[in-house]
């Protein structure tokens, strides 16, 4: 955005025509020297505006408003391009790609990631670190190459640590904890949690504890799972958004189920499921809300089976499956869908015997 400067003309009254000619010539001679100064001034204004748009888009992204954030990032690309701000342009290109990725629209995001990659340079820490973060996510979610993604996130971690980009260092550690092997996941999650606690990055502690809890589930360490997800819930409830709180409560209920504490599991899961259904009814176009109705059916179904009610459990599992498919689980977690199908098939076979 350029600010319009109001120029008030000064009328000079001369006594004769000849006295006006030198003044006009002098003005013409000075003009070329002033043009670069004006261009640089306007470029600085544009840079500041592009940076402000990037910050505004980041805020929308943090609030989960992906469509609105994407539009704002696109506006930032236009402003940064006009201002020749390569670092902001790299960040904005990368983040447009990430917004598409966040909605599993990887094909639409790839051209934007390519644009970021074409201009990204390690000489610009903010642009380079943002590019690495998005590139790694595409390698993980779109290419399904965890080893490649892990290498990118470790590169990002080392780079951000060197350049003292603490929040992005944590993001990188967090992502290694997601894509690494089970042992690496615990190692990097604990490393990130320690760094977040020391750096006062409390906003990171909820997702870090949350992911660590689910990692413990995959390792069969259910007591640690419960401890971690209770800690995650503590931090989620310090935030303003309701969906993370709902997910946290589902997690705690699931952890109680894993620990065979079925009475407590039913209390937590029933409450969360009721809230999920109410939220989905109030926001029918919100795919993420609907997804958690699907998980609610699955979690309640698993609980019913553990309580000795396989027929009722099978009914709930079958009810959850199409909801999860509609939310795109075949794209972002096919292994979980296969596990669900195996459960349904086994319960159905047992019922026929």
Q: Is the pLDDT of residue 15 over 60?
A: no
Per-residue pLDDT band at 36 (split at 50, 70, 90): low
Tell me the average pLDDT of the chain.
88
Q: Taking 50 as the threshold, does the pLDDT of residue 136 lie above it? A: yes
Q: Report whether 215 contacts 185 (CB < 8 A).
A: yes
Contact 170, 198 (CB under 8 A): no
Give the Cα-Cα-Cα angle 212, 216, 219 (nearest 5 degrees).
140
Q: Distance between CA 223 and CA 128 in Å, rounded?
A: 40
pLDDT at 72: 95
* Residue of 339, 293, 338 whose CA lies nearest to 319: 293
Q: Which whole number is the average pLDDT over 97-120?
A: 96
pTM across the whole model: 0.67
Residues belonging to the chain: 353
The most confident of the ranges 159-163, 283-287, 301-305, 328-332 is 301-305
> Is residue 300 predicted with pLDDT exceeding 90?
yes
For residue 196, pLDDT over 80 is answered with yes
Cα 166 to chain centroid, rounded:
17
Tens digit of pLDDT for each residue in 222-232? Answer: 999 999 999 99
Q: Please give the structure tokens belonging to residue 262.
A: 């079925």
- Model confidence at 200, pLDDT cuts 50, 70, 90, reads confident
Q: Residue 37 pLDDT more than 50?
A: yes
Region 49-78: what's the mean pLDDT? Answer: 93
Quick one: average pLDDT of 105-118?
A: 97
Token reading at 247: 């997910």
- Two tokens at 33? 């020297």
Structural contact between residues 24 and 31, judged by C-beta atoms closer than 8 angstroms: no
DSSP designation for 8? -
pLDDT over 60 at 23, yes or no: no
Domains, the chain: 241-353 (1.25.40.10)
């Amino acid at each position: 955005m350029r600010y319009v400067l109001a120029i008030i003309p000064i009328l000079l009254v001369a006594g004769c025509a000849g006295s006006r000619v030198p003044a006009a010539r002098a003005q013409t001679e000075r003009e070329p020297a002033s043009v670069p100064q004006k261009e640089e001034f306007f470029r600085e204004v544009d840079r500041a505006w592009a940076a402000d748009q990037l910050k505004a888009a980041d805020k929308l992204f943090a609030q989960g408003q992906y469509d609105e954030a994407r539009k704002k990032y696109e506006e930032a690309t236009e402003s940064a391009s006009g201002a020749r701000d390569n670092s902001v342009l790299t960040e904005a290109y990368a983040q447009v790609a990430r917004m598409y990725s966040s909605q599993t629209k990887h094909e639409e995001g790839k051209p934007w990631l390519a644009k970021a990659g074409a201009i990204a340079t390690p000489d610009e820490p903010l642009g380079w670190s943002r590019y690495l973060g998005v590139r790694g996510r595409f390698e993980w979610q779109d290419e399904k190459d965890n080893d490649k993604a892990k290498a990118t996130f470790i590169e990002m971690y080392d780079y951000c640590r060197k350049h003292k980009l603490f929040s992005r260092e944590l993001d990188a550690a967090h992502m290694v904890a997601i894509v690494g092997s089970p042992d690496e996941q615990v190692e990097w999650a604990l490393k990130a949690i320690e760094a977040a606690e020391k750096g006062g990055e409390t906003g990171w502690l909820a997702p870090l504890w949350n992911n660590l809890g689910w990692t413990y589930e995959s390792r069969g360490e259910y007591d640690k799972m419960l401890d971690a997800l209770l800690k995650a819930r503590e931090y989620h409830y310090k935030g303003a958004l309701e969906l993370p709180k709902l997910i946290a409560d589902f997690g705690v209920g699931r952890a109680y189920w894993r620990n065979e504490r079925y009475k407590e599991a039913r209390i937590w899961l029933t409450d969360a499921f009721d809230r999920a259904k109410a939220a989905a009814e109030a926001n029918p176009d919100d795919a993420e809300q609907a997804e958690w109705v699907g998980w609610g059916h699955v979690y309640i179904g698993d609980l019913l089976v553990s309580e000795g009610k396989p027929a009722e459990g099978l009914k709930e599992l079958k009810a959850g499956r199409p909801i999860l498919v509609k939310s795109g689980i075949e794209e972002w977690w096919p292994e979980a869908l296969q596990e669900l199908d195996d459960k349904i098939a086994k319960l159905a076979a047992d019922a026929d015997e």
